[in-house]
Chain A
Amino acid sequence: MNTASHALDHHDGHHPAGLLRWLTTTNHKDIGTMYLTFSLLMFFVGGAMILGVRAELFQPGLQLMKPEFFNQLIGVHALVMIFAALMPAATGFANWMIPLMIGAPDMALPRLNNWGFWLLPPAALLLTMPFFLALFGIGDGAVATGWTLYAPLSVQGGIGVDFAIFSIHILGISSIMGSINIIATILNMRAPGMTLMKMPLFCWGWLVTAVLLIITLPVLAGGVTMLLTDRHFDTHFFNAAGGGDPILFQHLFWFFGHPEVYILLLPVWGLMPHVLSTFTRKPIYGHTAQVWSFIAIGVLGLIVWAHHFLTSGLPVPALLYFMYSTMSISLPLAVLFFCWIATMWRGAMSFETPMLFALGFIVLFGIAGLTGLVLADVAADAQYHHSYFVVAHFHYALFAGGIMGVMTGVYYWLPKWTGHMYSEKLGKLHFWLTVISFNFTFMPQFFLGLAGMPRRIPDYALQFAEFNAISTVGAFALGLSQLIFAYNVWRCVKGGDKATDRVWEGTEGLEWELSSPPPHHSWETQPVIKAG
């Protein structure tokens, strides 16, 4: 490259300011910040929706809303939380941290990176705008089928289903572009000497995640495209009168939907060992074992999807296969749990907020794993399927596993990103309120499910009243506690005690060798990793 074009491409002083900076940025840190901000915003949007649901469920009978609107709220809550809150948070982490951790100047495809983010707001708008269009007499509101969009309900549904289909298409393109970028960055931008097996576990977690996204999201895109043509173009993919089958939609959906669980969790599993190692002042135990566990979970995750519809009348050999393959995932997952525990074993532990969240994560996510084994059992699932037991199970996985994992990462890395320390006092308050109110919300739902309360129903029998009331009180406490989190983050962005470059006493890794906050182009000159 000649020097003239070098100078042209590479001046830091002339970047646009204000809104235009955020619209046009190609910088991995700016884009990471946008992902995380969007995620936090949508976390509250999705949370507000489910508080509406919990308010309706506070007492038996219909008090606040029509059942149709109730159904819209639960489905859009799930889609928002999964696609617009959890996934963007993990992608925000990837954008911020992967270049810092592997010694890269930026992400491999920076303009594509910007596009990946800016696809999200239009998709979120498409998902939620039918709520508002209904106020003007256009359509009958948002998608009311639950996030799973099962045919034939979704074939017969209103205009909200069309909005959801295109929202999913755009979200899918965003995730695939993000994944392509992350894979190219990891494979092509690592500092000299950083072999794949020396690469930090967070990057490994994301590498497996990105591959899973590229394998599964196009199948969901194909599935919802068939749904669209069944709705409007006379095809019969999911209609027995034409030789099709509604169960086909469930196969297509869950071929994506099950790996999606690991897509949401692998980045968090990747980040956990870093946090545990830092606050126990010990090296990570079992780096290689954890890498192979990620890969094993990724591979197994692709071939177990039908355990989400074990009661749909699959043949017995299929039931047995999906039961045993599902249960086999507990083996690599147990390896991860034992590595986390072994990392802490006899360490000099201290309990800053990220460590508290990490420990809370391990305990509560463990409950998710164990109840998942119960649900995978074909005989037991016949009882628990579509009950509140399932709702409780996956909230232990996705709130206590996913969201609390994200919060672990935010508290752990926020000082690196902003150059300021957050308030430890508020952080600890946030942790305890979250853990207590989370269990208040979801523990009763296990009992409700065992007693036979079905999910996605706005009214219920009187015998379920007490546990529902407790759960609703817990949910509001949980929602309000998150305002402390938002305030703490905002406060930390605005100012606070200066963070050192290493931030925490026991940190290891390239990301801690840069200043806090890091320079505009992260590793202008790539570091060299010495052997050993």
Chain B
Amino acid sequence: MHASHANSAAPHAGHYYVPQPSLYPVFLSGGMFLLALGFILLMNKFAPGPWVMAGGSAVIIFVLFKWFGAVIAENQRGAYTDWEDKSFRQGMVWFIGSEVMFFAAFFGALFYCRNISVPALAHMDPAFTLYKDFTAAWPTAGPKGAPFTPMGAWGIPAINTALLLSSGVTLTFAHWGLMKGSRSQLNLGLILTVLLGVIFLGFQAYEYHHAYTEMGLTMGAGVYGATFFMLTGFHGFHVTLGAIMLAVVTGRCLAGHFDAKRHFAFEAVAWYWHFVDVVWLLLFVVVYWL
């Protein structure tokens, strides 16, 4: 392989932006350490747990404000060119890829329990099984679970599906506004999207409350309860994160950031939101409906 340095006209003629040394990453790691340590102490009933967690969370939130603030400031003064932009885009795509696999673990657990472990438990040799009268049916709380009412698909979950799908539409509407230079359309679309996300979360909270207080559907309701709450819970957590990110992007739009050519943050959050949307559709079909 031969390299030549001589006045080459490389397509990336500029230099790549390497940020100044920064303390944010170390502090973020420290905050995460405290958060994890506090949570472990809390779960094992040591008194300082919640305080350590609170300290860790405060550090994390502070650092996120500062770090993202620094990135936005660098962006606003034009530190990034198309070359850096491409790195950010690739970074976000692969990050969402890792999130897909995180959800895949929980969907995998659901399929495994429904199609493998529950039928296997029901078809054991009666002479050897602990659970003689257990029959394979879904949903189930397992051989030793307490009775519960499963969550139907066509009430709140169907409304939530409509809400999230519409939020995808309003987000695209905002994107079109940005592309053709209509700031009012951009802002309106974004605000609607955040609102739809927040209403979704409100319904979800109501549904959880209902499940716990009236349906006997809890985390402890066997594999149905476990997969139901872990899948919808992690999804809800991601909607929350997405709504916060959308709110930040909305604030930046109101402050006049972004134009038709340069709006990586907008697009990254939009990808994330659509990803959360797709996860919900899968959830709706395999957790609530089928």
**Could you tell me which A residues sit within 8 Å of B by CB distance?**
1-2, 5-6, 9-10, 15-16, 20-21, 23-27, 103-106, 108-112, 114-115, 118-119, 121-122, 125-126, 138-139, 159, 162-163, 166, 169-170, 173, 176, 179-181, 183-185, 187-189, 191-192, 194, 198, 214-219, 221-223, 225-226, 229, 231-237, 239-245, 247-248, 251-252, 508-510, 513, 521, 524-530, 532
**Stretch of B139-147, B159-167, B177-185, B282-290 contacting A (4+ beta carbons < 8 Å):** B139-147
The one of A170, A510, A521, A532 that contacts B32, using a Cβ cutoff of 8 Å: A170
Q: Is the CB of B5 within 8 A of A525?
A: yes
B172 at the interface (CB under 8 A from A): no
In the A-B complex, the 5 residue pairs with the smallest Cβ-Cβ separation, listed nearest first, are A222-B105, A243-B142, A115-B25, A24-B21, A527-B3
Q: Is the CB of A237 within 8 A of B25?
A: no
Q: Is the CB of B23 within 8 A of A23?
A: yes
The one of B2, B26, B86 that contacts A530, using a Cβ cutoff of 8 Å: B2
Q: Is the CB of B220 within 8 A of A234?
A: yes
Q: Is the CB of A189 within 8 A of B16?
A: yes
**What residue of chain A has the Cβ atom nearest to residue B24's Cβ?**
A111
Given contacts A5-B77, A237-B223, A248-B109, contact A118 B18 (CB under 8 A): no
The one of B20, B43, B90 that contacts A183, using a Cβ cutoff of 8 Å: B90
A and B contact pairs by CB, cutoff 8 A, 18 listed: A2-B78, A20-B21, A25-B21, A109-B91, A122-B33, A166-B40, A219-B101, A221-B102, A223-B105, A235-B225, A241-B145, A243-B142, A244-B117, A244-B142, A248-B112, A251-B108, A252-B109, A525-B5
Q: Is the CB of B112 within 8 A of A242?
A: no
Q: Is the CB of A529 within 8 A of B1?
A: yes
Given A25-B21, A525-B8, 9 extra CB contacts under 8 A: A5-B79, A139-B44, A181-B91, A223-B105, A241-B145, A243-B140, A244-B223, A508-B1, A525-B10
Q: Is the CB of B8 within 8 A of A176?
A: no
- On chain A, the residues within 8 Å of B131 by CB distance are 240
- On chain B, the residues within 8 Å of A185 by CB distance are 87
Q: Is the CB of A252 within 8 A of B22?
A: no
**Stretch of B92-100, B197-205, B246-254 contacting A (4+ beta carbons < 8 Å):** B92-100
Q: Which of A162, A231, A521 has the most CB of B within 10 A?
A: A162
Q: Which of B19, B40, B90, B219 has the most CB of A within 10 A?
A: B40
Q: Min CB distance, B140 to chain A, in Å?
A: 5
**What residue of chain A has the Cβ atom nearest to residue B37's Cβ?**
A126
Query: Within the assembled complex, what's the spacing in Å between the Cα atoms of A520 and B36?
Result: 36
- On chain B, the residues within 8 Å of A529 by CB distance are 1-3
Query: Within the assembled complex, what's the spacing in Å between the Cα atoms of A251 and B111?
Result: 12
- On chain B, the residues within 8 Å of A192 by CB distance are 8, 10-12
- On chain A, the residues within 8 Å of B226 by CB distance are 226, 229, 235-237, 242, 244
**Could you tell me which B residues sit within 8 Å of A by CB distance?**
1-5, 8, 10-12, 14-26, 28-30, 32-33, 36-37, 39-40, 43-44, 46, 67, 77-79, 81, 83, 86-88, 90-91, 94-95, 97-106, 108-109, 112-113, 116-118, 120-121, 130-131, 140-145, 218-227, 229-230
Query: Within the assembled complex, what's the spacing in Å between the Cα atoms of A174 and B127?
Result: 49
Q: Is the CB of A1 within 8 A of B2?
A: no
**What residue of chain B has the Cβ atom nearest to residue A108's Cβ?**
B87
Given contacts A108-B91, A236-B226, contact A245 B116 (CB under 8 A): yes
Query: Within the assembled complex, what's the spacing in Å between the Cα atoms of A15 and B21?
Result: 7
- On chain B, the residues within 8 Å of A20 by CB distance are 21
Q: Is the CB of B222 within 8 A of A169?
A: no
- On chain A, the residues within 8 Å of B46 by CB distance are 138
Q: Is the CB of B32 within 8 A of A119?
A: yes
Query: Within the assembled complex, what's the spacing in Å between the Cα atoms of A248 and B37?
Result: 27
Q: Is the CB of B105 within 8 A of A528?
A: no
Q: Min CB distance, B279 to chain A, in Å?
A: 13
Query: Within the assembled complex, what's the spacing in Å between the Cα atoms of A151 and B28?
Result: 32
Q: Is the CB of A528 within 8 A of B25?
A: no
Given contacts A162-B43, A163-B40, A222-B105, contact A191 B3 (CB under 8 A): yes
Q: Is the CB of A243 within 8 A of B101?
A: no
Query: Within the assembled complex, what's the spacing in Å between the Cα atoms of A163 and B230?
Result: 21
Q: Is the CB of A109 within 8 A of B102?
A: no
The one of A114, A232, A528 that contacts B8, using a Cβ cutoff of 8 Å: A528
Q: Min CB distance, A224 to chain B, in Å?
A: 10
- On chain A, the residues within 8 Å of B32 by CB distance are 119, 122, 170, 173
Q: Is the CB of B25 within 8 A of A106?
A: no
Given contacts A5-B79, A235-B226, A236-B223, contact A184 B94 (CB under 8 A): yes
Q: Is the CB of A241 within 8 A of B4?
A: no
Q: Which of A226, A526, A529, A530 has the most CB of B within 10 A?
A: A526
Given contacts A111-B24, A111-B25, contact A243 B3 (CB under 8 A): no
Q: Is the CB of B91 within 8 A of A180?
A: yes
Query: Within the assembled complex, what's the spacing in Å between the Cα atoms of A25 and B26?
Result: 10
- On chain B, the residues within 8 Å of A125 by CB distance are 33
Query: Within the assembled complex, what's the spacing in Å between the Cα atoms of A170 and B44?
Result: 20
Q: Min CB distance, B14 to chain A, in Å?
A: 6
Q: Min CB distance, A320 to chain B, in Å?
A: 17
The one of B30, B36, B88, B113 that contacts A248, using a Cβ cutoff of 8 Å: B113
Given contacts A243-B118, A525-B10, A527-B8, contact A183 B37 (CB under 8 A): no
- On chain B, the residues within 8 Å of A216 by CB distance are 101
**What residue of chain B has the Cβ atom nearest to residue A241's Cβ?**
B144
**What residue of chain B has the Cβ atom nearest to residue A217's Cβ?**
B98
Q: Is the CB of A243 within 8 A of B223?
A: yes
Query: Within the assembled complex, what's the spacing in Å between the Cα atoms of A9 and B100?
Result: 36
Query: Within the assembled complex, what's the spacing in Å between the Cα atoms of A24 and B29?
Result: 12
- On chain B, the residues within 8 Å of A527 by CB distance are 3-5, 8
Query: Within the assembled complex, what's the spacing in Å between the Cα atoms of A218 and B87?
Result: 22
Q: Is the CB of A237 within 8 A of B11?
A: no
Q: Is the CB of B219 within 8 A of A229?
A: yes
Q: Min CB distance, A21 to chain B, in Å?
A: 7
Query: Within the assembled complex, what's the spacing in Å between the Cα atoms of A237 and B223?
Result: 6
Q: Min CB distance, A19 to chain B, in Å?
A: 11
Query: Within the assembled complex, what's the spacing in Å between the Cα atoms of A95 and B5?
Result: 23
Q: Is the CB of B18 within 8 A of A1?
A: no
Query: Within the assembled complex, what's the spacing in Å between the Cα atoms of A121 and B25?
Result: 12
- On chain A, the residues within 8 Å of B116 by CB distance are 245
The one of B10, B33, B106 that contacts A126, using a Cβ cutoff of 8 Å: B33
Q: Is the CB of A162 within 8 A of B113?
A: no
Given contacts A166-B40, A234-B219, contact A26 B22 (CB under 8 A): yes
Given contacts A166-B40, A183-B90, contact A528 B16 (CB under 8 A): no
**What residue of chain A has the Cβ atom nearest to residue B124's Cβ?**
A240
Q: Is the CB of A111 within 8 A of B22?
A: yes
Q: Is the CB of B8 within 8 A of A112?
A: no
- On chain B, the residues within 8 Å of A198 by CB distance are 1
Q: Min CB distance, B255 to chain A, in Å?
A: 20
Query: Within the assembled complex, what's the spacing in Å between the Cα atoms of A125 and B32?
Result: 12
Q: Min CB distance, B107 to chain A, in Å?
A: 9
- On chain A, the residues within 8 Å of B91 by CB distance are 108-109, 112, 180-181, 184
Query: Within the assembled complex, what's the spacing in Å between the Cα atoms of A189 and B17?
Result: 12
Query: Within the assembled complex, what's the spacing in Å between the Cα atoms of A446 and B227?
Result: 42
- On chain A, the residues within 8 Å of B95 by CB distance are 176, 180
Q: Is the CB of A234 within 8 A of B18?
A: no
Q: Min CB distance, A23 to chain B, in Å?
A: 5
Query: Within the assembled complex, what's the spacing in Å between the Cα atoms of A217 and B94?
Result: 13
Q: Min CB distance, A199 to chain B, in Å?
A: 10
- On chain B, the residues within 8 Å of A244 by CB distance are 113, 117, 142, 222-223, 226
